[in-house]
Amino acid sequence: MDAKVADSTGETPLIRRREAVDEAALPNDLPAILRRIYAARGVRDPSELERSLSALIPPDRMTEADRAAALLADLIERGGRLLVVGDFDADGATSCALSVLAIRAMGHAGVDFLVPNRFEYGYGLTPEIVELAKAREPDLILTVDNGISSIDGVAAANAAGIPVIVTDHHLPGAELPAAAAIVNPNAPGNAFPSKAAAGVGVVFYVLLQLRATLQARGWFERQGRAAPNMAQFLDLVALGTVADVVPLDRNNRILVHQGLMRIRAGDCRPGILALLEAAGRDHRRVQSTDMGFVVGPRLNAAGRLDDMTRGIACLLAESIEEARPLARELDGLNRERRRIEQEMQDEAERILADWMADEQALAWGLCLYREDWHQGVIGILASRIKERHHRPVIAFAAADGDTLKGSARSIPGLHIRDALDRVAARHPQLLQKFGGHAMAAGMSIARKDYEAFAAAFDEAVREVLDPQALQPQVDSDGAIAADELNLETARCIAEGGPWGQAFPEPLFDDWFEIRSGRIVGERHWKLLLHHPDSGQTIDGIAFNAVERHPQLPQRARVAYRLDINEWRGQVALQLRVEHMEPT
């Protein structure tokens, strides 16, 4: 949150400082500020800070990866045709590109991919997608970032004589598909320690096991080629992992750190470099936030507004010259997505304002729907409304016929898929299908059932959510000592990541005098902040804060992140203001 505003409960966001935690177990040679930050994020052992590839969980720990690898190796050895079926988001796109590139690097050209168009076929390996796949005459289907709920699709493939390997990370339902192999750390009986792996991380582990299997069979020796260095694909793993907002546990932090190092060195896919270039970002200084807020959205724009095949083509491009026009096209789609998103958000806020004007208390679980909303943008809309009103949100858009597609986003304290399970158990007729994980989910319902579903969802949320969870809070790492408020500390923190979901980028708070401010980009405040304790006057930027702060206070308690601002050869400390509480 980036400004003080009364939410729908009538209360204001509060800055809450994290409790001090014993740092004794952490190395003494760490900078003091990092010791404090890591301890507050639950790091208790120095090994949890290891970022080398040697510290990754071994691939043989991923249950059924060996079975999947054996099936893939059999196919490669006999020269069969593999079809990768992906998803239409950044995790799915990177998973798909990774699979195609890695299998080609292992010496097998018979690999192709298919991504469902979300507007025609919806999510996952459906019977309709199997019909499309049959035209490619595959000998084996590999799903990436989907498939765990594709009961009918896998059955259709089996009936057509096409075995399916499912690689996924989404939570399974009560029934599993009858696949030849299922590789999912969240599937029953899977012993892989990291349950937070993204779809791209799961298939990366399968491909690691595939390389080992082919090596053991002497494949590379017979082909007269070296086994590929799988580290070359970590740029894709880092992008998909951050963009899918999965928790950055120890294993994911290693994958992301190693991928970011390759991107900074320019040793990455030309498509990633081209997307950064289209956004005006220097790859040499890329951070995990750039994957989540710069590259990921541009890649996702293809799946949201058009066809993710374009995004995958950008990632598969073999040269920067080939990638640039595709990246420019994706950048244009992203600008169009932002325009559509803003229109939908404005309309959603008018709906909510009308409800509150009529003294109608907002539901604990919010459902929103308009006939003309864009199906590809409802997920972002749900996220924006969730951030603004701090409650679980499902945004719906019209799909084919009498069906509505919904996209859900949750808040801490509510597992959104479990809430949908609760609705489905009580009202089995309301949910046609659904799937997801703790913080995000998707679903389909009949248009005629919208009002009944909205009431049932709100009821389910009220039964399991602590009312205190509706109070928005800003979790702060406290104040920075006056002698630490500098560029060196900002660099130290930037290098101490990667930061992301469940391992948040450090946020600090303190009192500042606001000496001046000017509006930039229509919605953002460019600030001049004076820190009384250090005597410093520091530049600040508060994104999307003008609506909530049409007039700036003279003094405020500011929650901020340390930023490094580089402009025309000058490097300076900048505070990225996330929240202000005026005196």
The CATH number of whichever domain residue 139 belongs to comes to 3.90.1640.30
User: What are the Cα distances from residue 199, in Å, to 220, 319, 395?
Assistant: 27, 26, 24
Residue 246 placed within a domain: yes
Please check whether residues 574 and 526 belong to one and the same domain: yes
SS3 327: helix
Instruction: State the Cα–Cα distance between residues 515 and 535, nearest whole angstrom.
Output: 13
Amino acid at 479: A
- Contact residues for 401 (Cβ-Cβ < 8 A; gap 6+): none
| Residue 146 phi, psi dihedral angles, 5° rounding | -170, 170
Please check whether residues 92 and 176 belong to one and the same domain: yes
CATH of residue 41:
2.40.50.460
Please check whether residues 446 and 428 belong to one and the same domain: yes
User: What are the Cα distances from residue 137, in Å, to 78, 146, 441?
Assistant: 15, 21, 32
Please check whether residues 165 and 248 belong to one and the same domain: yes
The number of domains in the chain is: 3
Please check whether residues 313 and 419 belong to one and the same domain: no
Instruction: State the Cα–Cα distance between residues 283 and 162, nearest whole angstrom.
Output: 42
pLDDT at position 6: 36
Amino acid at 8: S
User: What is the pTM assigned to this prediction?
Assistant: 0.91
Residue 7 placed within a domain: no
pLDDT at position 8: 38
CATH of residue 453:
3.10.310.30
Q: Report the DSSP beta bridge partners of residue 354.
A: none
Residue 3 placed within a domain: no
Residue 9 placed within a domain: no
Please check whether residues 26 and 80 belong to one and the same domain: no
In 43-127, which ranges are E strands? Answer: 82-85, 111-114
Residue 339 placed within a domain: no
Please check whether residues 414 and 286 belong to one and the same domain: no
Instruction: State the Cα–Cα distance between residues 81 and 140, nearest whole angstrom.
Output: 7
Residue 348 placed within a domain: no
Between the two ends of the chain, the Cα-to-Cα distance in Å is 18
Amino acid at 519: I
pLDDT at position 359: 58
Instruction: State the Cα–Cα distance between residues 382 and 379, nearest whole angstrom.
Output: 5
Element (DSSP H or E) covering residue 459: helix 450-464
Element (DSSP H or E) covering residue 72: helix 65-78
Of the three residues 415, 445, 470, the one that is the final residue of a domain is 470
Please check whether residues 368 and 261 belong to one and the same domain: no
Please check whether residues 42 and 183 belong to one and the same domain: no
User: 348-367 burial, b if ≥16 CB within 10 A, otherwise e?
Assistant: beeebeeeeeeeeebbbbbb
Please check whether residues 524 and 541 belong to one and the same domain: yes
Which residue segment(s) compose the domain that 135 sits in? Answer: 56-332
pLDDT of the chain, 583 residues: tens digit per residue:
333 333 333 346 789 999 989 998 899 999 999 999 999 999 999 999 999 999 999 999 999 999 999 999 999 999 999 999 999 899 999 999 999 999 999 999 999 999 987 777 777 899 999 999 999 999 999 999 999 999 999 999 999 999 999 999 998 988 999 999 999 999 999 999 999 999 999 999 999 999 999 999 999 999 999 999 999 999 999 999 999 989 999 999 999 999 999 999 999 999 999 999 999 999 999 999 999 999 999 999 998 898 899 999 999 999 999 999 999 999 999 999 999 999 999 999 999 998 887 656 789 999 999 999 999 999 999 999 999 899 999 999 998 779 999 999 999 999 999 999 999 999 999 999 898 888 889 999 999 999 999 999 999 999 999 999 998 889 999 999 988 999 999 999 999 999 999 999 999 999 999 999 999 988 899 999 999 888 999 999 999 899 888 999 999 999 999 999 888 788 999 999 999 998 7
Residue 105 placed within a domain: yes
pLDDT at position 12: 64
Of the three residues 332, 350, 373, the one that is the final residue of a domain is 332
Residue 261 placed within a domain: yes
CA within 13 Å, CB half, 396? 24
User: What are the Cα distances from residue 243, in Å, to 198, 210, 269, 298?
Assistant: 9, 25, 16, 11
Task: Pull the structure tokens for residue 335.
Answer: 């600008």
Task: Pull the structure tokens for residue 182.
Answer: 């299922």
Q: Report the DSSP beta bridge partners of residue 443.
A: 406, 434
Please check whether residues 295 and 160 belong to one and the same domain: yes
Of the three residues 438, 470, 502, the one that is the final residue of a domain is 470
Instruction: Give yes or no for a cis peptide into 498 (omega within 30° of 0).
Output: yes
Please check whether residues 258 and 240 belong to one and the same domain: yes
Instruction: State the Cα–Cα distance between residues 275 and 133, nearest whole angstrom.
Output: 30
